[in-house]
Amino acid sequence: MRIVREIMRNKNSLISIIILGVLLLTLMKCKNDARNVESLTNSWEIAIPNQEIPEGLTSLSSEQCGICHQQHYKEWKYSTHSHAWTDLQFQVEIKKESSPFMCINCHIPLQNQQEYIVEGLIDGDIYKPIKKRNPKFDKDLQKEGINCASCHVRNNTIIGTTGTSRAPHKTVKDAAFLSENLCISCHNAVAVITPTLACTFETGDEWKSGPYYGEKNCISCHMESVDREIVAGYGKKTSRLHYFAGSGIPKLDTAKTKALKGLGIYPSTPKKTYFKNDSIIFNLKVINEFAGHKLPTGDPERFYNISFILKNEENKVVSTKTERIGEQWEWYPEAKKLQIITFFQKKKGYLPFLINQSKKKN
């Protein structure tokens, strides 16, 4: 009988715990239901919705695209797009408490690449997103950053600029969708998120204000046109390179990337001989001759350091000078642009270097 009483006592305790748990969950749900949840309204807050794998494929990965589109895949691997997620600087930034959830939407645009789905914001606060687990999250796909599907898959269908009926997958022709507007959707993100946090990527606006607007666009320069086979054995047609060449600065020490020449650099010619107490005047002319936007562009903390080093006949440094070219920002107590020193298209930059230095005759 004693054993039976113990069992009944334990059973009653278990029932009590279950009832208490149900009550707590009910209270929590009521509390959650009472929250003021605001919808996501800004484009940068919303990832590209989860995509189903297009018919004829087994994955959304660039690696699979590369089975047929071999040259495109090789070029993409050179691009900084392929390292948009694994970029070490970006990984450091998103781990900061001040980095809100939507910063990942340009680096891994597909919802399939994101571990959580953000359904709204409590009281519209970007630091209080309502998240749920993404059942279609693909960790390997995440590592590819901005991959083929980021631009070429929508509504579970592959989008191209020419269209074909010979592909093993369904293809829709939509050159307008794959225009420079798709590039600008990430490369022109301008918003003050909080007083101390501003997203300021203005490359699209710079292009629209520049001399090439209406004549050339992002694709004209960064995706050079080439006649080649898009798939081996299918015959040549007009295609575009997928290096997405830019600054030429790779995101990882082990990576390689392609560069576009933007600046023309013209140093003056010094005299062959200077005498004691002579002034050495050296002019360096730097011109944005080729880019349709400012240089540097994009990240507001990018800059050029142009260093001048004067050495004597013994190869010893006798004087140095460094000029910084780029935006200067103050981030606290309020984010604001302090100074803009950049190279805009067809605007000349002169960097004088004046030294009064005694020097032996050569």
Domain ranges of the chain: 38-179+217-240, 263-356
The pTM score is 0.82
DSSP 152: H
Q: Output the pLDDT for position 2.
A: 53
CA separation for the pair 311, 102 (Å, rounded): 50
Q: At 64, is the secondary structure helix, strand, or coil?
A: helix
CA separation for the pair 13, 283 (Å, rounded): 87
CA atoms within 13 A on the CB side of 156: 7
CA separation for the pair 194, 246 (Å, rounded): 30
CA separation for the pair 130, 128 (Å, rounded): 7
Around Cβ 149, how many Cβ atoms within 10 Å? 26
The torsion defined by the Cα of 180, 184, 186 and 191, in degrees rounded to 10, comes to: -170
CA-based R_g, the chain, Å: 28
User: Among candidates 167, 170, 141, which has minimal Cα distance to 155?
Assistant: 170
Q: Output the pLDDT for position 359.
A: 36
CA separation for the pair 99, 69 (Å, rounded): 36
Edge-to-edge strand ranges of the sheet holding 263-267: 263-267, 279-288, 348-356
Helices in 229-288 by DSSP H: which ranges? none
Q: Output the pLDDT for position 360.
A: 36
CA atoms within 13 A on the CB side of 110: 30
Q: Can you give the three-state secondary structure of 162-185, one letter per residue?
A: CCCCCCCCCEEECCCCCCHHHHHH
User: Among candidates 124, 128, 127, 102, which has minimal Cα distance to 36?
Assistant: 124
Which contiguous run of DSSP H or E holds residue 117? strand 116-122
Q: Are 249 and 299 in contact (CB under 8 A)?
A: no
Q: DSSP strand E in 224-360: where?
A: 225-229, 236-240, 263-267, 279-288, 303-311, 317-330, 336-341, 348-356
pLDDT per residue, tens digit, the chain (362 aa), is 554 455 455 555 656 666 666 566 555 554 555 679 999 988 889 999 999 999 999 999 999 999 999 999 999 999 999 999 999 999 999 999 889 999 999 999 999 999 999 999 999 999 999 999 999 999 999 999 999 999 999 999 999 998 888 899 989 999 999 999 999 999 999 888 888 888 899 999 999 999 899 999 999 999 999 999 999 999 999 999 999 999 999 999 999 999 999 999 999 998 888 888 888 889 999 999 999 999 999 988 899 999 999 998 899 999 999 999 999 999 889 998 887 776 665 544 444 433 333 333 33
